[in-house]
Structure formats: C-alpha cells, structure tokens
Structure 1
Amino acid sequence: MSIRMLIVDDATFMRMMIKNIVTKNGFEVIGEAENGSEAVKLYSELKPDLVTMDITMPEMDGIESVKAIKQIDPGAKIIMCSAMGQQAMVMEAIQAGAMDFIVKPFKQERILQAIERVMSR
C-alpha cells in the first residue's frame, strides 16, 4: 500500500520538485495546496497519510495550518519545509505538531529519510 501525500507550498516549482521525488519513489500525491487554508480544507477532504508543509505562505502560514490540521486529526503526520535561516520557525512548527523538517533546496535522500522517519512513528 503506497503512502498518500498532500504537498503544500506556495511555489508551484517547489510542489513539482517534491512531487517528482516522491512519486518516483513509489508514493502517491493525492493533493496539492498553495496556502495554509487550502491545505486544511484538503486535509479534511482527502485524509492523506502524510503532509509536506511550507512554513512561509500567504493567507495562512504553515505553523497556523499545522495547528488547524492537528485539531482535525491529532495523529496527523506533517513534515515542515523551510528555507535556510528559519530555525526559530522550525522550532515553533515542531511545537505546533510537525514531526520533522526538511530544508530547501531539497535533497532527495533527506526527503525520503524524513518520510521514512515520520511514517515509522
């Protein structure tokens, strides 16, 4: 059974990069969102196994949407994606309920490692 994923990032290019890496490695992308409020809505509709969430987005940022998703599903598995130098925000995201984080620019091994780590919990 493949892992069903929701990819959240305001940059189309970043969503495409993650999607290419994960689909090539046998994961299924069931949805994409370009902001936090869209992510929360899609999470309730699609019930993905895993979410990759950008921190900095318009409308609702990643941290707020992690909190909202965790209210819908306390067991939600979320990996934060951040640019270099956002350590304070990453810590805030982890406190909000994210289970791991990957730093942009993405490296395939790191994405796969984070997915494996989060899904084995």
Structure 2
Amino acid sequence: MALKDVRVLIVDDEIFFRTVLREIIGKIGFTIVGEAADGDQAVRQYVALRPHIVIMDIYMPEKNGIEATREMLALNKSANVLICSASDYDSDTQAALDVGAKAILKKPFVPKEIYETVKKVLGGK
C-alpha cells in the first residue's frame, strides 16, 4: 500500500494536537480523511469514512478514547486504533490495549514513531 493510500482519522479534543498530527501525517505522506474532537464524533466519522488508521486521544469530553475504541471494534473487529496520550499512568494505556487498541503513541509526537507504528499495524504493507 502506498503511503498516500493510508487513510487516517485524527481524534483529539485539543486543536493543538490535531494540528500537530495533521502536519506530521501530511509530511509522512498519509492521507487525512477526517478529524474529530470527541469519541462520539470519532465513531460517526469512523463509520462514514472507513479509515485504515484511527489516531485517538484517551481523554476527551462526551466519550473518551477507550469507549470510542470499544465501539469501533464492535462495528469492525479489524479496526486499527492507535491511542495517543500524554499520560504516564499504565492503567490508562493498558485499558486502551485491553479493549483492542493496536498501539500506544506518546505525546509529544515523534514522526518516526508514528510512521513505524502505522507501518507495523498495517503489516508492513
């Protein structure tokens, strides 16, 4: 799969982090198909846009990233959700992995880490 063919949905309640991710993902060459500011928007956009990768914050209003990940995986057991968090609490990141997130990305973001994680999750394609 070519880099431009990888469709990404960005989910974070903070516009700053969405902007940073948009810039990093654009420079890597992936295609951003949408953005959401909370878990409810994320699930709706996931259904409508069918991205290959969802990069989702844990802590958001309305519905957090763990609940939204659970819903996405209930809709599609092959959903590729990468949870991003500035949290150092292992219980939060472990809870995300327990519901089916494929990986954890730490804030602040490192472009190489995002690229390598997406490549690994997509099977090196």
Bin the TM-score by the shorter chain. over 0.9
SS of the aligned residue for 1:45 comes to: helix
Q: Structure 2 CA distance, aligned partners of 1:13 and 1:86?
A: 22
SS of the aligned residue for 2:8 comes to: strand
Shift of 1:112: 1.2
Is 1:10 paired with 2:32?
no
Structure 1 counterpart of 2:56: 53
Is 1:91 paired with 2:120?
no
Q: Structure 2 CA distance, aligned partners of 1:87 and 1:96?
A: 14
Q: Structure 2 CA distance, aligned partners of 1:13 and 1:111?
A: 17
Is 1:44 paired with 2:47?
yes
**Which letter does structure 2 place at the counterpart of 1:87?**
D
**So what's the TM-score if we normalise by structure 2?**
0.93
Shift of 1:37: 0.5
- Give the root-mean-square deviation of aligned CA atoms: 1.1
| Structure 1 gap segments, 5+ residues each | none
Which consecutive segments of 4 or more residues in structure 1 shift more than 2 A?
none
Sequence identity percentage: 36
Shift of 1:120: 1.0
**Which letter does structure 2 place at the counterpart of 1:96?**
V
Q: Deviations over 1:52-111 (max 9, x none)?
A: 010000000000000000011110001000113132111010010100011111111111
Structure 2 counterpart of 1:76: 79
Q: Structure 1 CA distance, aligned partners of 2:63 and 2:55?
A: 15
Shift of 1:117: 1.3
**So what's the TM-score if we normalise by structure 1?**
0.96
SS of the aligned residue for 2:13 comes to: coil
SS of the aligned residue for 2:74 comes to: helix
Shift of 1:19: 1.1
Match among 3, 19, 25 for residue 28 of structure 2? 25
